[in-house]
Structure 1
Amino acid sequence: MVEDKALAALKRIAQDEAWRAAFIRQLIAFEAAIDAPGVDVREEITGPLADALFDDDQVVRKTLSSGVTFEFLYRSKIARDFVMSTPEAPDHAWEPQTSRLLVNLARRAKQVVIGGAYFGDHAVLIAREIAPRGGVVHAFEPNNQQRAMLVRNAELNGLGNIRPRPEGLWSDSTTKLKLVGYDSFASAEVAEADAADGFRTVTIADYLEAAGVDRLDLIVVDIEGAELGALKGAEPFLALPPGQAPDILFEVHRHYVDWSNGLEATEIARLLTGHGYHLFALRDFNSNYDLSGRPIELIPADAIHLEGPPHGFNMVAVKDPAIFETDAYRIVRDVSPKLLRHKDPRLHHPVGGLQAR
């Protein structure tokens, strides 16, 4: 009976946009007011309450402090934490330091390939940065609904330089894949040739050749375990010398990458270092969290704290690590790339603490 009344109350709040916004502000205030070490308050308490206010097919609109506007489906942690951002108009949609790093790298770029573009949370920021130079973002997203949101967000922000693509990036251009899992957690698996829910693969090299593009400045791949295949499909570009080879941002996850012998021993790391790349883990929140004014913390590949339950994080690979020798970056060692508010501050908080500026 009590649970029924609680659900009815949440449903009533959800019906009024102003009530919903006020309730979410109170949830955020609750998070700030309590001290609960070891408890992930967002995941266990406030997040589920916010989720109860939305439907999976509900489209939400939110505007960043820069004026960039996004519309997105409320069906992921990405959507929930964006809705629950502090401040209400943040400087990013998802992963604060990843967003900043990509914009920084985009200042050196004109041709960009993104695998796993989703609704455009990073693609739009990159496209906006490179548009004045005639730059193009080739954005691959096999999920039809999310690709439609990507197209919508390009329109909302007046960006004509995003090329949405339905293929999956892979090590060959002849395989058919299918998505297994829900929305942002879906991974690609090989499908039968006649699978109705399948999609074709393409290598980065084959796609760019067909598109008449002979340069590549930045690769971004977050495709739930298919990162290695996608990068193998870009090897003609990876083999180029410094100044011509693309910078790369990619995700590694313990579900897909066996780092039990160290990250440097993994196949994806050996592929990149074999082509002369220097690898760093990017310390970031897998969330929307205000880190404005903080340096981007990078961990050399041989100094990453990898212990803990299965988890993933973003890495950056460059051929000229001197680009990180500015005040915008801080090289750190023997800490975790996973920034987590409820875990050991020595390993999981930014250097100087969460509140330092």
Structure 2
Amino acid sequence: MANDPRDLDGSRLQRALLQLGRDTALRAELMDWLKRAEQQLPHTGSVRDDITGPIIDALHSEQDVYEKQLADGTRFRFLFRTKIARDFILAEQERPSHVWEPQTTRLLKHLTAQGRGDVLIGGAYFGDHAVVLGVQLKGSGRLVHCFEPNTDQAAMLAANAQLNALDNLRINKQGLWHESSQRLRLDGFDSFANAVPATGDDGFETITIDDYCQAQGRPLSVLMLDIEGAELRALQGAARVLARDKPAVVFEVHRDYVDWSVGLTKTPICSLLSAAGYQLYAVRDFNTHQEMGTRCIELVPADSVYLEGPPHGFNMLAVADPALVAGPLFRQVKNVSPKLLRHKSPALHHPLDGLPD
């Protein structure tokens, strides 16, 4: 019936929320109300992911652009796509300390400060980590080499470099792979897209880390990879760099791409790095925006990571020199999950010194 009040597929509600969101002042007011409501809603799961987040997402289109500033003055312009943007906007502090993944951000800054070579980031997105490190290295002569084949996000990354007057970011739209000069395309939405073979002239060209670094003639001290399952391929193309420079490596593993059913240390990506002389740890972190203050970065040795639960991903760290993580900034813990989750078991999913304030 044309006048049936039921919205069985939710399409009318989606359209109504999107229309509300076209008024930016009203949208901000609604989002602020929803953020306050999160403190009162009784729910056994994640209130943000299950209740308030989907409503906030529905208020936006993929082309909505925000701008936000960190506490140190670093500025970001970004599209409202995925929870990276949403949770950054909803940060408790008006000018927060980071964009995404607090402990990973702190880890990358520490590793960068300890090194003398350049930084290379595969999956640089709009610069949530790359711009932070570019600001840190400003005036040092060291570079941040960024790889981002997503055209929209690469454009945002370039805009953010300009916004912060950075001349030390090198932005590449190629994909990191185990072979150079191949053709790939992105399959999936935005930050969730993974690389698959392309036909004809579609997509983007690949390059290996070894070939790129040889052309640049510059050593690496930090390598970060968050490329939705292509991490192994990228590291297979970095054998010379791993042997020569021994950069600290921060990389994502996800159950959708990595079979850890016989143990994390026996996965091909961990085996590759172990054979190259690295020690491996899982990084305990929130997969969101969450202030952590000066709390220790908790690292779980790869042979004692709690891996149970639905398919999930987390960041890992590989270092050739364990002294890099021997200081007071770090704490090694065992038999806990790297996924920090407020709504899950404290014994497995909370920082060992308790939840953040």
TM-score (norm 2): 0.93
Q: Does 1:63 align with 2:69?
A: yes
- Matches for 1:146-165 after TM superposition, within 5 Å: 146-165=153-172
User: SS at the partner of 2:32?
Assistant: helix
Tell me how far apart the structure 2 counterparts of residues 12 and 258 of structure 1 sit (CA, whole Å): 43
**Which amino acid is the alignment partner of residue 202 of structure 1?**
I
In structure 2, what is the equivalent of residue 339 of structure 1? 340
Q: Does 1:190 align with 2:197?
A: yes
Question: Quick one: which of 88, 99, 104 aligns to 1:93?
Answer: 99
Question: Which deviates the most, 25-34 or 72-81?
Answer: 25-34
CA distance change for structure 1 residues 45 and 232 in 2, over 3 Å: closer, same or farther?
A: same
Tell me how far apart the structure 2 counterparts of residues 177 and 247 of structure 1 sit (CA, whole Å): 27
Question: Which deviates the most, 80-89 or 250-259?
Answer: 80-89
In structure 2, what is the equivalent of residue 230 of structure 1? 234
**Once the two structures are superposed, what CA deviation does each residue of 1:58-84 show, in whole Å capped at 9, x if it has no partner?**
111111111111111111111111111
Tell me how far apart the structure 2 counterparts of residues 307 and 254 of structure 1 sit (CA, whole Å): 11
Tell me how far apart the structure 1 counterparts of residues 6 and 296 of structure 2 sit (CA, whole Å): 47
User: SS at the partner of 2:149?
Assistant: coil
In structure 1, what is the equivalent of residue 86 of structure 2? 80
- Matches for 1:192-271 after TM superposition, within 5 Å: 192=199, 194-196=200-202, 198-213=203-218, 215-240=219-244, 244-271=245-272
User: SS at the partner of 2:27?
Assistant: helix
Question: Quick one: which of 113, 123, 140 aligns to 2:120?
Answer: 113
In structure 1, what is the equivalent of residue 147 of structure 2? 140
User: SS at the partner of 1:299?
Assistant: strand
Contact 2:111-2:222 at 8 Å conserved across structures: yes
Matched residue pairs, number?
349
User: SS at the partner of 1:326?
Assistant: coil
Q: Does 1:127 align with 2:131?
A: no
Tell me how far apart the structure 2 counterparts of residues 17 and 2 of structure 1 sit (CA, whole Å): 28
Aligned CA RMSD, in angstroms, stands at 1.7
Tell me how far apart the structure 2 counterparts of residues 117 and 309 of structure 1 sit (CA, whole Å): 27
Tell me how far apart the structure 2 counterparts of residues 2 and 107 of structure 1 sit (CA, whole Å): 58
TM-score (norm 1): 0.93
Contact 2:249-2:317 at 8 Å conserved across structures: yes
Tell me how far apart the structure 1 counterparts of residues 313 and 348 of structure 2 sit (CA, whole Å): 15
CA distance change for structure 1 residues 161 and 333 in 2, over 3 Å: closer, same or farther?
A: same
- Matches for 1:258-337 after TM superposition, within 5 Å: 258-337=259-338
Tell me how far apart the structure 1 counterparts of residues 55 and 251 of structure 2 sit (CA, whole Å): 32
CA distance change for structure 1 residues 2 and 156 in 2, over 3 Å: closer, same or farther?
A: farther
